Structure 1
Amino acid sequence: MTLVPIFPVAPPPLIPINGAEGQGFAVRRIFCVGRNYAAHAAEMGNEVDREAPFYFTKSAYALCLSGSEIPYPAGTRDCHYEMELVVALGSSAREIGEDDALSVVFGYACGIDLTRRDLQAAAKDKRRPWDIGKDFDNAALIAPITRSDAFGQPGDQAIRLMHDGVEVQSAKLSDMVWSVPEIISHLSRFYALDAGDLIYTGTPAGVGPVAAGSRLEGQVDGLTPITVTIAGELS
């Protein structure tokens, strides 16, 4: 029996691709790596788990493109920015080894993970899932994707974020606790990764709150910068 939808469903979000005018990267799933910079873990009062990376997820419909003006997120009075390198997968990976992991990468992009920190903290205190603090409208910001062959491999490239013109985050991609190949290999043990999957690889130290009117500008050397403006009032 063939089923048809009873109401229209939004198509998957598309991300612009540098050098591919008129084409977009269709997003399937979003994985995010937690505590992947030791200094950030420390500023949040946590220790890095060096046994294995850990993850949380966001809906593909939480995605928001660079250059947007977005409302201050609902239900929070403490929304934080987190600048990240995003890995975009272009082919399938299941139990792939670290030596081969970069072969499934389509490209890379600058991203910002917005977090409703007060809601996340309340969930942690009650030993509940973080979903309400991490997965919400416009919570996964992203710039156009640069193909992997144009960017090269993640290494000593600088990653930084400016908040209202002041640098608040600065590190190197090599500061990540778990490298991109290690993340892809480990994640592929638990999920059948495929084209369209995004991985937000974690944030350096220096996270902090945004306010109505905040302008965020993030950069990773070799990638298209990301910008976003927060509009509206606190809920």
Structure 2
Amino acid sequence: MEHIRNIYCVGRNYRLHAQELGNEVPKSPMIFSKPTHALVKANGQAISLPGDRGEVHYEVEWVLHIARPYKTGINIEEVVDQFALGIDFTLRDVQSELKKKGHPWLLAKGFPNSAIITEFRKFTSIEACQKVDFTLIKNNQEVQRGNIQDMLFDIQTIIQFCSENFGLGAGDMIYTGTPAGVGSMAHNDHLQLKWGEEVLGDCFIHLN
């Protein structure tokens, strides 16, 4: 996998997902990050996740790869060179406790292998990507389906927000949020991440 610098993630970027977890719909992008140790490519292998800290939830997401720093007035096509699909794994019980205490989410979001990524595809335009749904298949059943046109905050807004508040440069990645349908994992579950009808990556989950 090529060198990755920062992994930014957008929380609650689909209205129905925010509502299914009983969360308030944000009025500006809600950004958190994951360590690079969280990143693992889904290429058909078994991926180990912690099974002793409560429920592990899957959250499928459309992922951007940044080619160069963003500057006001630059087209998105000049900033983003590739896209992929990913899964933001979440220790939901841990996250719930952290939220009650007003603590950061890192313990629930940043553990090793918590950021699955598929193969990348060349990014051409937002319009082209809006014509294709992305889905997560668990044990041969569709559990999540999304389209980037349903995002609360569009790609332009997300990229500009990340750039202004954290910095954005070549090698950074942005997980752009998950649609409704998140749920828990079980040992030996098989996951497939599909862009339209194409499977971009798959893996088996081992809960340790």
Matched, 1:128 2:90: no
Contact 2:61 2:88 (C-alpha < 8 Å) held by counterparts? yes
TM-score, length-scaled by structure 2: 0.92
* Matched letter for residue 53 of structure 2: T
1:225 aligned counterpart, secondary structure: strand
Q: Would the alpha carbon gap of residues 197 and 224 (structure 1) be closer, same or farther in structure 2, given more than 3 Å must change?
A: farther
**CA deviation string 1:86-133 (max 9, x = no partner):** 000011125x34x62331101100111110111111100111111000
Structure 2 Cα separation of the partners of residues 223 and 187 of structure 1: 30
Q: Would the alpha carbon gap of residues 213 and 85 (structure 1) be closer, same or farther in structure 2, given more than 3 Å must change?
A: same
- Equivalent in the alignment of 1:157: 132
- Equivalent in the alignment of 1:22: none
* Alignment counterpart, residue 53 of structure 2, candidates 45, 70, 76: 76
Q: Would the alpha carbon gap of residues 186 and 31 (structure 1) be closer, same or farther in structure 2, given more than 3 Å must change?
A: same
Offset at residue 171 of structure 1 (A): 2.4
Structure 2 Cα separation of the partners of residues 106 and 61 of structure 1: 23
**CA deviation string 1:45-85 (max 9, x = no partner):** 012113x1111100112100012311232542200000000
- Equivalent in the alignment of 2:206: 231
Bigger radius of gyration among the two: 1
Identity %: 35
Q: Would the alpha carbon gap of residues 83 and 119 (structure 1) be closer, same or farther in structure 2, given more than 3 Å must change?
A: same
**Which deviates more from structure 2 when the two are superposed, residues 113-122 or residues 145-154?**
145-154
- Equivalent in the alignment of 1:85: 62
Q: Superposed, which structure 2 residues align to 1:2-13 within 5 Å?
A: none
- Alpha-carbon RMSD across the aligned residues, in angstroms, is 1.9
- Equivalent in the alignment of 2:94: 119
Structure 2 Cα separation of the partners of residues 224 and 197 of structure 1: 24
Structure 1 Cα separation of the partners of residues 206 and 164 of structure 2: 40
- Equivalent in the alignment of 2:9: 32
* Alignment counterpart, residue 182 of structure 2, candidates 169, 183, 207: 207
Contact 1:85 1:220 (C-alpha < 8 Å) held by counterparts? no
TM-score, length-scaled by structure 1: 0.82
Structure 2 Cα separation of the partners of residues 30 and 223 of structure 1: 25
Contact 1:157 1:174 (C-alpha < 8 Å) held by counterparts? no
1:28 aligned counterpart, secondary structure: coil
Structure 1 Cα separation of the partners of residues 94 and 137 of structure 2: 24
Structure 2 Cα separation of the partners of residues 222 and 76 of structure 1: 34
Q: Would the alpha carbon gap of residues 61 and 223 (structure 1) be closer, same or farther in structure 2, given more than 3 Å must change?
A: farther
**CA deviation string 1:179-216 (max 9, x = no partner):** 11221012111122110000000000000000111111
